[in-house]
Amino acid sequence: MAPIETAPKLYGMMAEFETAEQLIEAASRTRSAGYKKFDCYTPFPVHGLTEAMGVEEAKVPWTVFVCGLIGAMALFGLQVYISVIDYPLNVGGRDFLSWPYFIPITFEGMVLFAAFGAFIGMLAYNGLPAPYHPVFNVPQFARASTDRFFLCIESKDPNFQHDRVYEFLQSLNPVRISEVEA
Amino acid sequence: MPQVFKRHHNTVARATIVGGLLALVGLVLAGSNITRSPWMTRAGEPLDQPVPFSHKHHYAELGIDCRYCHWSVTKQAHAGVPSTELCMTCHSQVWTNSPLLQPVRDSYNNNAPLVWNKVNDLPEFVYFNHSAHVNKGISCATCHQGIEKMHLTAKSQPFSMWWCLDCHRNPEKHIRPSEEVFNMYYQTPRNPEEMKAMLDKYQIPYDPNNIPRNQLELGRLLVKHYNIHKEQLSDCSICHR
Amino acid sequence: MEKPTNGQSTGEKFWRSLNELAESPEFEEQLAREFPRHAQPLSDFVSRRQFLKLMGASMALAGLSACGYKPQGPIISQAKTPPEHLPGESLYFATALAVSGFGMGVLAKSYEGRPIKLEGNPNHPASLGATNAITQAMLLDLYDPDRSQNVLKFGRIEPWTTFAAELLQKIAIQNAKQGAGVRILTGAITSPTLADQIQQFLKANPKAQWYQYEAVSWENLYEGTRLAFGEWLYPIYRLDQAQVLVALDSDLLYTGAGAVRYAHDFMQGRKVRKEQMRMNRLFVAEPMFTVTGMTADERLPIQSSKIARLAYEIARLLDAPVQAEPSGELTPEEQKWVQVVAGELKAHAGESLIVVGEAQPPAVHAIAHAINQVLGNIGKTVVFIAPPEAKPTLHTQDIRQLAQELQNNAVEMLIMLGVNPAYDAPADLNFTELIPKVPFSVHLGAYVDETAALCVWHVPETHPLEAWGDVRAFDGTVTIQQPLIYPLYANTRTALELMALINGQSGKQTYELVRAYWQKASGLTPAQFDSFWRKSVHDGVVPRTARPVKPVALKQSPLVVQLPEPLGAVQATNTLEIRFAPDPTIYDGRFANNAWLQELPKPVTRTCWDNLAFMSLNTFKALGLWGKATYAWHEDVSFVRDQVPLIEIQLNGKSLIVAAYPIPGHVDKALTLHLGYGRIRAGAKGSGAGFNAYTLRTTTDLWFARDAEVIPTRQSYAVARTEEHHLIDTRQKDPELDSTAHRPILLTGTLEEFRQDPELKNKSHREGYTHELPSMYPERHRYDRYENPDNYRYAWGMVIDPTLCTGCSACVTACQAENNIPVVGKEEVVRRREMLWLRIDRYFKGSPENPKVYQAPVPCMQCENAGCELVCPVAATVHDHEGLNVMVYNRCVGTRYCSNNCPYKVRRFNFYRYSYMKSPVLHLMQNPDVTVRGRGVMEKCTYCVQRISKARITAKRENRRIRDGEVVPACQQACPTGAIVFGDLNDPNSKVRQWREQPHNFAILGELNYRPRTTYLAKIDNPHPELSGAEVSHAGSH
Amino acid sequence: MQEAIKNRVQEFPLFEGQQTYERITDQIARIPENPHPPAWRVVFGIGAVGTLLLVTTLVWLVAIGTGIWGINQPVAWGFDIINFVWWIGIGHAGTLISAILLLLRQSWRMSINRFSEAMTIFAVMCAGLFPLFHTGRPWVAYWLFPLPNWLAIWPQFRSPLEWDVFAVSTYFTVSVLFWYMGLIPDLATMRDRAKSTLAKVVHGILSWGWRGSAVHWLRYEQAYLLLAGLSTPLVLSVHSIVSLDFAISIVPGWHVTIFPPYFVAGAIFSGFAMVLTLVIPFRILYPGLREYITMNHIDWMAKVMLATGWIVFYGYLCEMFFGWYSANQFEQFLVVNRFFGPYWLAYWALIFCNGIVPQLLWFPKIRHNLLILFLISIVVNIGMWFERFVIIVVSLHRDFMSSAWGQYAPTVWDWRMYLGTIGFFVMMMFLFARFVPMLAIAELKDIWHRLYYGHSGHNGHGKQPNPVPMGKGGES
């Protein structure tokens, strides 16, 4: 077979699988084959996939924790500032700093901020919104949200070599292999 | 079939989100500032009056005391708008045929009131008492600042609650010897000598070892002297009934 | 006026523009348009306005929502300043207001030239600085938009001049025949000047006649004294001298010209303190609870017709020189009661008093006089003076005679001054037919009422606050009435002016007439007179005009009197004795259009806007009315919808449909009907309210009648009541839980108990009042924490002594007048939305047949640990540094949470825009020192904070503390008996502090630890050991 | 562990019929894609009318004032707060199902969580209306928020009503976030299935360009789990705070320490009832759903109702006990007044609806009879409404000072507003059904993959795929 010249504007090469198990298998082999820049696409969270890919991170939880902390402090602070410092009023003979009364709102503030932390954090780390992405150029990729499982080795990868990658993917027995336009 | 979104749409999307958040913050800030602005409070806008009465002329140029016309200010809640009678005490002698004063003369002759436009207006549920202020060293100038420079009268302060509270919470910033209340040109003495001189002049007891050096210190002295109970001044019942 | 106003700006405007305004066609037209339909009550609030308008209106209300920057209003300067005028300051002028001829001295508060509040005049014998509800409310009459404003001929507006011309011409004709055809009908007249004018006319026209008629007449007093002493005399009671007071069918503490004074005097003997552990004792025998009855230590429910027998028995036991044919029998209880009373009277001879009510026939009065004579009370606890009226008379006789003459067409010219016989004359005379027979009839009155409608001419009457005049108090003391305001309506005239016109002194102002009379009467030189006049007008009393005391003696001994036939044992259950009584608030009907009085809960029944046929629960059930009609699915709900059954009463041929209402303490086999309702031409508020008892009232049965037949109907009727009475509508099965009397609300005790244990410790629930729970928080805000020598701070507090409270409700109306409290109308009251800040709680204890009554005024308690403040999300109600629980109306968003968390339920909510007043006139009345609350805002009592602020500012200006007694809330000021004391709790010498340190001081619901600043003294009564046993045992408590 | 679960789900299948990834996707996603049954239009129409009723009522309310309601002096809260609490309670089931059951790893929640979360959001919308419009001056209700203002005055943070403001708004926001986050992958699915460009664009935007990357899924699941972890205490706190509106005050019948747990239980109780009330008709309307909302699901929901019902009933018993044990005559009177007072009917209705009727759920037959179950769920909703009525009206109308006692009766306006909110709720639910996948597709596929893949007949695709001739992306 004649070697094919790599298209200059190539995002990567994508293999399509039918089952999650195959994909997990493929992912771990891709990893052991020394590829760094590759990603998998699944219609639902496939458990064990990220482990196979060797991805580990806990950015989101930390963000949530910090946001929650900020939220709690912010609202408790607000209440104390208002009812003790800015306009202390004798309300039903209660002490100005009647902190037990401030707990509920403090708690709600914590939850609110944390929730936003989780939501926005998730999107931000995922680089969303990204309505455009090269992988969408592959027609079959439309099934990635329905019933097909994809593995894409990106051209950014240091040892990305067109036909090598092709052969490697072949060895994973995908349903189909397609180039992904950048 | 090509995908519907192009690469630049990513940027657009992110820009929109960031922009939206910023806009939100901006809105809140703008809102809270606009309400305080003269545009809202109408501070500094003269209203038209039946007679173009000039405080500048009468106070600054002729040197008529505030109390000549607003005679009830030291005794009553209301400073009072002078009756036509009062105007005529002078204007039966001077400017007797100035066309500008025609309404005044008519009012006097037909015993019909002059209808002025209210410049310094408070909501109905706010009970302001002039006498309580002027007798305790709060000057006309504090609320009607610059009236002595006005040809046409406009309110110079927002007269909003936070503005009132600002002084009610720390009167030291504005209080002065009650003898100086009607003096629009009063300046806080800048050096100890002047300060001492003034305190002596008005027999205000003070500790000679530490003579107040600035308005704040003078203020504290006077607040005590006039037996003003600060913490009470921001009680709701002080202004609302 | 769409937006609420503090009256200041508008105040000045109105002050200036009154004169112009009153004449200006717009104003006339404007008011004319409102007349007579415009209703203050809110019932038609929704239906009347279109939708969008309202939308705008309610939004405009955001005016009260703290945004100050509305378009600025005008500010109107005066052209000329009246000498005494101070901008924004109130001045007080002494004058007097008369009810059926008798004057009540008042100090009228004038703000910017308009009267806005009436206070009692301390110099005046009838007032002593206090007032009653009616006097307070007479202010509203002045501003009533329904007032008649035009001279009418057959209902068409005519200029005054036309009337004057025609009148004079007719008078001229009459003068020719010495006034043979002229009849003048007035109410009781004490005014010397007016009387003088009438006498002048009579002198000129000897054949003319002057009749006086009062529907609620005291003629029996006169006849009584005539029987006993041979002449008409007017009794003056010295209740402060009486240790034992026996009131037979008499409400002397509430109704009658001297009531306010009497209540005051009587209570002098009931101020129970640890220093003074003694009190007088009051016995009352009456068919239905009256204010006096509720105050009684020993009360006997008995039919009015049996009172005579009762009195006679007492007389017999005291061997008073009385001879009569007793008929009818007394029950054992009544016998017992009589013995005890007789014993008490004897024991306190010389310092006891027996009083008989106006409703009782002369004979009974005579008996009472004989008893007082025998006991040597006359001259001590009661003295007699010549009648205060200018021409004392027997009203019923007068009116009967007039009717007679009208019948015979003897009357060519009938002049009626401020009377309304077409409505309130006895039914058997049927004036409605007689009046039209008069060719030339003139009616002078404040309203185009039933009589005006039948007259040829109607002349609008000037309100006493608008004109000069004079009037006598119950003891004869004269007050010169001075005007507070230029007459609101140009065409109004006073009776004095009318008589002057008739006497050909048309040009004269009332001022000249009054002054001229007194110049003559006083017989002083002009110089002396001037100072005399000044002093009299200024003080509100003319010196040395009180009638002198007359020595009296029984004209014969023994007195032979004819006792009336008492109601025998009634056979049929539906044949009852009927008793007529003046209405507690609208009196004989003359105040029917006074919304304040209409909405004021009646002292005994706590109903308003209505009169009802009151009867005992037994009778109510015997008639088969219980559980009838709308009593729905549960007996307890019988009053849920406040529905009561309608009954038909038939009395000598006449019949009346009226709502029946059971009330504890009413004697069985009898019903009580209040006069004054069922008006058809009272005005927008009064017309159609209640049932017209006059239709049953005849000259023969003026006060009570036997054999009234009662026929239940199928219909029911909605009653507006501000308080349920629980002995009735909570089931008796579990008194410990149900009967209110057992709730730890009021601490009560007898004098005996108080003597043994001043703190009443071993009373049930006592601990509930005192013990305080530990608090988690540093209680920096307690008033006693403020106590230190150099403490400037005030701790306002109030102590109320229910023992002194008669329940007369003067405080309630005073509060309403002072604080711009709106009237909501019957429908809203039925829906439990009355706005009165101050209510008077009335609790029954004991058997429904003859319970004890405990009352206490309940204002906002100004709790130090106020629950209302705690739950307000916007800090609209908070404490200030002086311990007031202030309510910031303009901050309130109206969540109503505070009201829910208030255990005393003293907060009031503007469910609608109650403060909306269509008529500009009503805005003149509003107190400029109090914010007028808009819709959706919670409101409540704040110890009259406006008065406190005023005093504080003055004190600050003068660099001093506020003196004790310098701040007097409206309620305290109005209270005749001094049951309310307000002041600074931090001041060890203040009166309020002394009261609060009394051993029997307690806080209502103290165990909730809200720590109210308003506390109460235990309600002490002085039952007679031999009697009370029976009743109290019913109650089962302590 | 996994095995155990797998065995259990064998006997209680979470799915009916043969499932594949496509089938799951298609069955659910095609509901919004295809035209709707006529029944949908009818019910939606009814809802819309109700909404109209609501709007007109609100306008009139703002124009005239709260006086048009039946509230009065002793009873200053009536339908407004009753319905507020009722709606909030209903809302809670959604969050509970989605959050708490998620934390408890209850796989059966997957088929109903999207649905009940939507219910939550709309219920909270309805609830929110009441506190806002029950104020006497709604146009200044914004004072309840701590906005910097030129009055220099702030809200009062000791008031439970103020807590409500924060609790309810937070609850609403978080619920929306939670719901929307769950939607993102499914919106992506919709996008990829979409035929028209417009649909592609809209779904593309709404799905933020989700592409199912494994790393994204990782963060997504972390966030989702955390949100669940946050919502759980949130939902408890919200109804606790609502209960504190009463418990903080001193009114007998309100001042009860067990209110928080008892309110939360009540909320779940009524919430599940409402889920059933909605699910059963929806299953009829959209038969496709039956494969995922099986009789097992319904059975479990019924059981939860039974359990929470007992907690609530225990609450009632406690209140009686407290009344007696308090030795406080006001409390004692309250109990008596509830039993025999003017509103005894309401009280016994509540006992009947919440105490007696749910006991039917002991019987499997009844749990599997959709009609009866549906009726029971309605009865429970009514019962829970009565509970709030008893708590609010009966406590207020006769508290301490018998001189201030009164009665309460709703007016037509009270009813209009109540029915209006119900109409609004129905309308929103049907809009939701019209435009959004009613079940969580991705989660269902996940569950199916975890529990059934390999067991159920999936092997159709088991064989090794052939190497394919490679082509450039975009070709073929």
In the predicted model, what is the mean pLDDT of residues C1007-1018? 88
pLDDT single digits (tens) A151-175: 988 888 888 888 888 888 888 888 8
Residue A161 Cα, gap to closest chain D Cα (Å)? 16
Select the more confidently predicted residue: C871 or A177: C871
Strand C152-153 and strand C156-157: the pairing is antiparallel
Q: Tell whether the torsion through CA atoms of B202, B206, B209 and B213 is positive or negative.
A: negative
> Quick check: B232 contacting A, CB < 8 Å?
no
pLDDT band at C60 (very low <50, low <70, confident <90, very high): very low
Best A86, A94, A105 member to test C by mutation, with max C CBs in 10 Å, is: A94
**Closest C-alpha among B106, B70, B138 to residue C75:** B70
Question: Is residue A180 scored above 50 in pLDDT?
Answer: yes
Give the whole-angstrom CA distance, residue B154 versus residue B143.
12
In the predicted model, what is the mean pLDDT of residues C489-517? 90
Read off the DSSP letter of residue C561: -
Determine which of C42-56, C293-307, C983-997, D73-87 has the lowest per-residue pLDDT on average: C42-56
Residue A91 Cα, gap to closest chain C Cα (Å)? 5
| pLDDT given for residue C777 in this prediction | 57
* Strand (E) or helix (H) holding D239: helix D214-247
* Strand (E) or helix (H) holding C300: strand C298-301
Residue identified by tokens 């059934």 is D452
Best D150, D195, D476 member to test B by mutation, with max B CBs in 10 Å, is: D150
Q: Where are the alpha helices (DSSP H) in C733-820?
A: 735-738, 751-756, 766-770, 810-818
Best C631, C871, C872, C1007 member to test D by mutation, with max D CBs in 10 Å, is: C871
| Residues 6+ away with beta carbon under 8 Å from C460 | C147, C148, C149, C150, C151, C444, C445, C446, C489, C491, C492, C493
pLDDT band at D151 (very low <50, low <70, confident <90, very high): confident
Give the whole-angstrom CA distance, residue C54 versus residue C225.
62
Assign 3-class secondary structure to D401-423.
CHHHCCCCCCCHHHHHHHHHHHH
Question: Is residue C715 scored above 70 in pLDDT?
Answer: yes
Do the Cβ atoms of A104 and D244 come within 8 Å?
Answer: yes
Q: How high is the mean pLDDT of chain B? A: 88
DSSP calls for C204-246: H-TT-EEEE--SS--HHHHHHHHHHHSS--EEEE-GGG-SEEE
Question: Is residue C40 scored above 70 in pLDDT?
Answer: no
Question: Is residue D305 scored above 50 in pLDDT?
Answer: yes
Give the 3-state secondary structure of residue D281. helix
Computed on alpha carbons and rounded to an integer, the radius of gyration of chain D in Å comes to 25
- Residues 904-933 of chain C whose Cβ lies under 8 A from any Cβ of chain B: 929-932
**Chain-centre distance of CA C527, in angstroms?**
41
Question: Is residue B79 scored above 50 in pLDDT?
Answer: yes
Structure tokens of C927? 């107190």
pLDDT band at D107 (very low <50, low <70, confident <90, very high): confident
- Indicate the residue of C778, C782, C878 with minimum beta-carbon distance to A91: C878
Computed on alpha carbons and rounded to an integer, the radius of gyration of chain B in Å comes to 25
Question: Is residue D459 scored above 80 in pLDDT?
Answer: no
- Indicate the residue of A129, A136, A139 with minimum beta-carbon distance to B14: A129
- Residues 168-187 of chain D whose Cβ lies under 8 A from any Cβ of chain A: 170, 173-174, 177-178, 181, 185
Percentage of chain C beyond pLDDT 90 is 63
- Residues 44-73 of chain B whose Cβ lies under 8 A from any Cβ of chain A: none
- Residues 84-113 of chain A whose Cβ lies under 8 A from any Cβ of chain C: 89-95, 98
Contacts of B8 in chain A (CB under 8 A): 132
Give the whole-angstrom CA distance, residue D311 versus residue D262.
7
Give the whole-angstrom CA distance, residue C647 versus residue C88.
54
Distances from the Cα of C602 to the Cαs of C136, C468, C830, C840, D392, in angstroms? Answer: 15, 33, 15, 10, 31
pLDDT band at C733 (very low <50, low <70, confident <90, very high): very low
Distance separating the N- and C-terminal Cα atoms of chain C:
56
Determine the residue of chain C that is closest to A97 in CA distance: C777
Give the whole-angstrom CA distance, residue C56 versus residue C52.
6
Contacts of D345 in chain C (CB under 8 A): 633
Percentage of chain C beyond pLDDT 70 is 83
Select the more confidently predicted residue: C163 or C113: C163
- Indicate the residue of C779, C872, C880 with minimum beta-carbon distance to A93: C779
β-sheet bridge partners, residue C654: C651
Residue C879 has φ and ψ, to the nearest 5°, of -90, 145
Angle at D322 between CA D317 and CA D325, to 5 degrees: 125
Question: Is residue B225 scored above 60 in pLDDT?
Answer: yes
State the helix-helix crossing angle for A103-125 and A59-80, rounded to 10 degrees: 150
Give the whole-angstrom CA distance, residue C395 versus residue C401.
10
pLDDT single digits (tens) B61-78: 999 999 998 988 988 888
pLDDT band at C738 (very low <50, low <70, confident <90, very high): very low
pLDDT band at C1005 (very low <50, low <70, confident <90, very high): confident
| pLDDT given for residue C480 in this prediction | 94
- Indicate the residue of C61, C871, C1005 with minimum beta-carbon distance to D160: C871
Question: Is residue C868 scored above 90 in pLDDT?
Answer: yes
In the predicted model, what is the mean pLDDT of residues C169-186? 93
State the helix-helix crossing angle for C510-522 and C495-502, rounded to 10 degrees: 80
**Closest C-alpha among B125, B102, B47, B116 to residue C13:** B116
Residue D409 Cα, gap to closest chain A Cα (Å)? 32
| Residues 6+ away with beta carbon under 8 Å from B190 | none
> Are the beta carbons of D471 and D465 closer than 8 angstroms?
no
Structure tokens of C655? 């019949």
- Residues 110-139 of chain A whose Cβ lies under 8 A from any Cβ of chain D: 111-112, 114-116, 118-119, 121-123, 125-126, 128-133, 135-139
Question: Is residue C205 scored above 90 in pLDDT?
Answer: yes
Structure tokens of C833? 């939305």
pLDDT single digits (tens) D376-415: 999 999 999 999 999 999 999 888 888 888 888 888 999 9
Determine which of C19-28, C413-422, C470-479 has the lowest per-residue pLDDT on average: C19-28
> Are the beta carbons of C300 and C333 closer than 8 angstroms?
yes
Assign 3-class secondary structure to C903-927.
CCCCCEECCCCCCCCCCHHHHHCCC
Give the whole-angstrom CA distance, residue A156 versus residue A39.
12
Determine the residue of chain C that is closest to B127 in CA distance: C929
pLDDT single digits (tens) C116-159: 999 999 999 999 999 999 999 999 999 999 999 999 999 999 99
**Closest C-alpha among D262, D202, D179, D198 to residue D432:** D179
Q: How high is the mean pLDDT of chain D? A: 86
| pLDDT given for residue C744 in this prediction | 67
Question: Is residue C741 scored above 70 in pLDDT?
Answer: no
pLDDT band at C734 (very low <50, low <70, confident <90, very high): very low
**Closest C-alpha among C843, C294, C813 to residue C600:** C813
Read off the DSSP letter of residue C637: G
> Are the beta carbons of C473 and C120 closer than 8 angstroms?
no
Question: Is residue B116 scored above 80 in pLDDT?
Answer: yes
- Indicate the residue of C740, C893, C934 with minimum beta-carbon distance to D135: C893
| pLDDT given for residue A181 in this prediction | 82
Do the Cβ atoms of B4 and D147 come within 8 Å?
Answer: no
* Strand (E) or helix (H) holding B116: strand B115-117
Q: Predicted ipTM?
A: 0.90
Residue C873 has φ and ψ, to the nearest 5°, of -75, -15
Give the 3-state secondary structure of residue C896. coil
Give the whole-angstrom CA distance, residue B160 versus residue D273.
52
In the predicted model, what is the mean pLDDT of residues C607-615? 92
State the helix-helix crossing angle for D259-285 and D113-134, rounded to 10 degrees: 120
Question: Is residue B227 scored above 60 in pLDDT?
Answer: yes
Contacts of A94 in chain C (CB under 8 A): 777, 865, 870
Peptide bond into D437 cis (omega under 30): no
pLDDT single digits (tens) C61-95: 333 333 334 445 566 666 666 666 666 778 899 99
β-sheet bridge partners, residue C95: C106
Contacts of D445 in chain A (CB under 8 A): 43-44
CA dihedral D314, D315, D321, D322 (to 10 degrees): 160
Percentage of chain B beyond pLDDT 70 is 99
From the number of C-beta atoms within 10 Å of its C-beta (0-12, 13-18, 19+), residue C56 rates as exposed
| Residues 6+ away with beta carbon under 8 Å from C302 | C285, C286, C287, C310, C334, C667
Give the whole-angstrom CA distance, residue C110 versus residue C113.
5
pLDDT band at B122 (very low <50, low <70, confident <90, very high): confident
Instruction: Find the length of chain C.
Output: 1038
Peptide bond into C558 cis (omega under 30): yes
pLDDT single digits (tens) A75-134: 999 999 999 999 999 998 888 888 999 999 999 999 999 999 999 999 999 988 888 888
Give the 3-state secondary structure of residue B217. helix
Q: Which residues of C348-367 are buried (b: 16+ CB within 10 A; e: fewer)?
A: beebbbbbbbbbbbbbbbbb
> Quick check: B145 contacting C, CB < 8 Å?
no
Own/partner pairs, A120-125, CB within 8 angstroms, 24+ separation: A121/A59, A121/A60, A121/A63, A121/A64, A121/A67, A121/D219, A121/D223, A122/A60, A122/D181, A122/D219, A122/D220, A122/D222, A122/D223, A123/D208, A125/A59, A125/A60, A125/D219
Do the Cβ atoms of C865 and A91 come within 8 Å?
Answer: no
Distances from the Cα of C824 to the Cαs of C644, C751, C842, C943, D414, in angstroms? Answer: 21, 41, 22, 23, 21
| pLDDT given for residue C739 in this prediction | 41
Q: Which residues of B151-177 are buried (b: 16+ CB within 10 A; e: fewer)?
A: eebbbbbbbbbebbbebbbbbbebbbb
Q: How many CA atoms lie within 13 A of A100 on its CB side?
A: 5
Do the Cβ atoms of D147 and B162 come within 8 Å?
Answer: no
Determine which of C224-228, D302-306, D449-453 has the lowest per-residue pLDDT on average: D449-453
pLDDT single digits (tens) C282-300: 999 999 999 999 999 999 9
